[in-house]
Each structure stands twice: as C-alpha cells, then as structure tokens.
Structure 1
Amino acid sequence: MATQASQIGVPIERERAFFFAMAIAIVLTTVSGFVLQFVMGRSSIASPWWVHLHGMTSVGWLALYAMQNYLVFHGSLATHRRLGWVASWYLGWMVAVGLSTTTVAAAAHRIPFFFEPNVFLVMDYLTVLVFAGLTLAGVALRARTDWHRRLMLCAAILVMTPGVGRLLPLPLMGTWILWSIWLVMAVYVGIAMTFDVMTRGRIHPAYFWGFGAITLDTALMRPLAFSPPVLALTRALMG
C-alpha cells in the first residue's frame, strides 16, 4: 500500500530510517536517566516490587516501540501489524500500572522531596492518560501511515518523561520542573518537525496535534494540581 510519503516524493526508506533512529534515541535517553541515578546511588534494587514492575512495564513498551520501527525499517510489515495488536493490548496494562503505581507511591510517601505531592500526582496521571490518548489515536489512524507514525512518535516522546526527569537537576528547578521536562520533549519533536521540513517542505499536521496535546498537558498540570478535588485526593492518599 502506497503511503503519503511516497505520493509526495519522500523516499519511504529514508523516512523509515528516521523514525527507527528516533526510536533508538528515545530508548537510549530514557534508559540513560535511570542508569545515571543508579550509578549515583540514588536508585536501589531494594525498591518495592511495584516500583520494579512499573519500570519493567515502561521498558517493555519502549522495546515494543523500537521493535515496531525496526520491523518497518526492514520492510517486515506483516509482522509489524501482528505485533501491533499485541502492543494495543499492552497499552491497557501500561495505563493500569502507571495510574496504580502513582497512587501507591503517594500512599507510601515515596514521592520525591522536590515535588509538591499534588503536582506529582497530576503530572503522572495526565502523562499516562495523554500518552494513552495519543497512542489510541495513532492506532485508529494506522491506515494513514504518515499520521500513524507521527502520533506514535509523540506518544513515545511523552514516555521519556521519567527518564528525562532523572537526567535533569530537578531539585534546583523549583516550579519550573514541568516546563524543563517539556523543553527536552520539545527538542525531540523539533527534530522530527525539521526532518519534515527538509523532506516534505512543511511540518505534518500530526505534530501540531501531538505536540499540542503534550503542551496542553503540561500547561494544565499545576492549575489542576491545586484544584479542590486534587488537593482532597492528595490529603486522602497521604494522610
């Protein structure tokens, strides 16, 4: 099936190689954040089991994302589609684990000291939900390859949030923590947009929707965090 990329003259192989490279960069960035914390002695294998479950679940998703791009890069589209159904079911597990881990972390008083607890809750909840929304949109538009791969890329960039946070000096950033993480994600989206301009002559509209969702997500975090329902939830969870 011809893609929009081939219709407007962008070599399919070049675009596939770019998205595979972006997938590798996302995986390396995320893993680097956790490795850095472990090397500096700020992470421990003695953490509760649910912390490790959350970490393995996220790594599993990133591995799936990288594998999917690898399969497309090598032209194994049938396998890519079959694995896509596995990833669609895995998405539900990602959401369940992400939301429950954040809730348990608050109840166990395991929120990092430099986060306001209510902000941490909203940040994690919204990140999981927006990630799921972008992924579902990408799945729904899987027949439109140009939209599919760009929305999935935006969702994968959002998954970098925990790893990026561990690479930045968050304790020094105060109330700018959320926007500092957003800025790193903006760099990755900017690279993707630049690739579009160089190969297509314009930015694909999928990025405006995808990055628009990420930006709106970030902008809403602090206002929602200080809303009465979230403050009440924070008090209920943390006693």
Structure 2
Amino acid sequence: MATIAAPDTIVRSDDRFFLVTSYLMALVVFAGFSFALASGRSSFASPPIVHAHALVFMGWVVLYVAQNSLVSSGAIALHRGLGWIGAGWVVAMVVLGTLVTTRLAQLGRVPPVFLPAQFLVFDPVLILTFAGLTAAAIVLRRSTQWHRRLHYCGMALLLGPALGRLLPLPLLIPYAYEVDFLAVLIFPLIGIAADIRRSGSVHPAWWWGLGAIVGSTVLVELISFSPLGAAFYAAVVAGTPGAAVSGYAFPPFPGMP
C-alpha cells in the first residue's frame, strides 16, 4: 500500500506547490505595480495602448491562478476548456507587448533604468520566450509534469517588470536589467528545490525552462550591444521623438535635465 500511496502523495504535493506559488506570483505582480503607483514611479497618464497592455497581462495572471486552482480542486474539464482561451490570450500578449515597447521607444519614454536600445530588444525577446514556453506547455498538455512546469517557467519570466518595481533598480544602474533577470531565476530555482524535496530528483522540464530563461537573456545581451541592435533601434525610432534619444545612454529621471 505504501508504494501505491507514494505517487498520490507526490501528486497532491505537486498540486499544492503550484497552487501556492501561483498565489505568490500574483502577489509579486500586485505588490510591484501597487508600489510603483503609490511611489509615483507609475501613473495612469499613459497612452491607451499601455493600459490595454496592462489589462491583458494582468488577465494572464488571473488566468494562471485560476488554472492552478481548478487543477487543485479537481475541475479538470473546465481547466482544459479554459486552456484554449489562454492559448489565444498569449497571441494578444505578444502583439500588445511588442507594440507597447515600440511605442515607448518612439516616444522617448523608456524607463530610465534601462538603455533604450536594450529595452527595445529585451521586451520582445522575453515575451516571445514566454510564448514559446507556453506553447510547449500546451503541446505537452497530456504530460502533466512537463505541462505545469513549463507554464510555471513562462509565468516566472513575466515577473521581471513587477520584480523590477520592487527592487532598487535606480541604485543598480548600469546592471539593473541583469539584476532583475537574476531575481526572476529565484522562482525556477524554488521549483527545482521543491522537486528535490518531494521526490529526490529534478524533472527535466525545469532544466528546459531554466535554459530558455537564461538563453533569452544571453540573446538580449548579444543583440543589444551589436551593430544589429544599434541598427534595429535606429530604424524603429526614425522620424519620431525617440530619434533624439541615444540608444546607449541612460535616459534622465523625471524632473532631471
């Protein structure tokens, strides 16, 4: 009986882990953006497309928590049906994420903790990496262990902006982006540690997810500081106010000359 019960115990522990961490991730997002709003680092005085982007990305957070809650409660049929809505939702996230990044660069309103050329590269690369991890999770939906871990890694990647609002990034210039990336890695590492604690081994999905996250950051660094990155930035901001902003100098903070 012990050998039969052990896998069930692991599954229940797995369900609990992914449910609790989904709440934790949602809390990080809420805390990050609430803190930025309360401290005046963010405001509602943004272009409409930024608000649309925020609603769609927050919607994904709600969907992620809901999906883990449904699995934990045994509502698998509803979970699967909602999953197809999520697949379409990712497309909207990719489109809006890319459009918002481009628009902010063109307006010359890149967050001052990032180099404009780097910002223009890393947002699309990260959202596409998220989409790739999510697509892989959907393809492997019949393999629960792969499915939920790849989704988790994709969600972890989206926490960068919220974590950046909680971290003292202005004090970390010129390495603000890199420090934010290291903070994101905490979540997959928590997952790896939880696997070891539960079963004594690490599921390979964690290594693929971790590899995708690290690989995306390496790609961002390679492109951002290459002639390709410089040419890409110049082409995107050409003929806009952003053309007056150097792609490789940190913008001044609001209120500073």
**TM-score, normalising length from structure 1?**
0.94
- Structural mapping, 1:187-202, within 5 Å: 187-202=186-201
Deviation at 1:164, TM superposition (A): 0.8
Deviates more, 1:165-174 or 1:206-215: 165-174
Q: Which amino acid aligns with 2:151?
A: M
Partner of residue 145, structure 1 = 144
| CA deviation vs aligned residue, 1:115-142 (integer Å, no higher than 9, x gap) | 1111111110111110000000000000
Q: Which amino acid aligns with 2:180?
A: I
Deviation at 1:114, TM superposition (A): 2.3
- Structural mapping, 1:68-217, within 5 Å: 68-217=67-216
Deviation at 1:200, TM superposition (A): 1.2
In the alignment, the residues of structure 1 paired with residue 40 and residue 109 of structure 2 have an alpha-carbon distance, to the nearest angstrom, of 17
Q: Which amino acid aligns with 2:204?
A: P
Is the 8 Å Cα contact of residues 70 and 76 (structure 2) preserved in structure 1? yes
**Percent of aligned pairs with the same amino acid:** 38
- Structural mapping, 1:41-56, within 5 Å: 41-56=40-55
| CA deviation vs aligned residue, 1:83-119 (integer Å, no higher than 9, x gap) | 0000011111111111111111111111012211111
Query: In structure 2, the residue corresponding to 1:143 is in which secondary structure?
Result: coil
In the alignment, the residues of structure 1 paired with residue 177 and residue 45 of structure 2 have an alpha-carbon distance, to the nearest angstrom, of 28
Q: Which amino acid aligns with 1:228?
A: P
Deviates more, 1:145-154 or 1:159-168: 159-168
In the alignment, the residues of structure 1 paired with residue 91 and residue 143 of structure 2 have an alpha-carbon distance, to the nearest angstrom, of 23
User: Rg larger in 1 or in 2?
Assistant: 2
Is the 8 Å Cα contact of residues 10 and 199 (structure 2) preserved in structure 1? no
Any gaps of 5 or more consecutive residues in structure 1? 1-5
In the alignment, the residues of structure 2 paired with residue 169 and residue 216 of structure 1 have an alpha-carbon distance, to the nearest angstrom, of 25
Deviation at 1:44, TM superposition (A): 1.2
Is the 8 Å Cα contact of residues 130 and 157 (structure 2) preserved in structure 1? yes
Aligned length: 234
In the alignment, the residues of structure 1 paired with residue 37 and residue 231 of structure 2 have an alpha-carbon distance, to the nearest angstrom, of 34
Deviates more, 1:30-39 or 1:73-82: 30-39
Q: CA RMSD in A?
A: 1.4
**TM-score, normalising length from structure 2?**
0.87
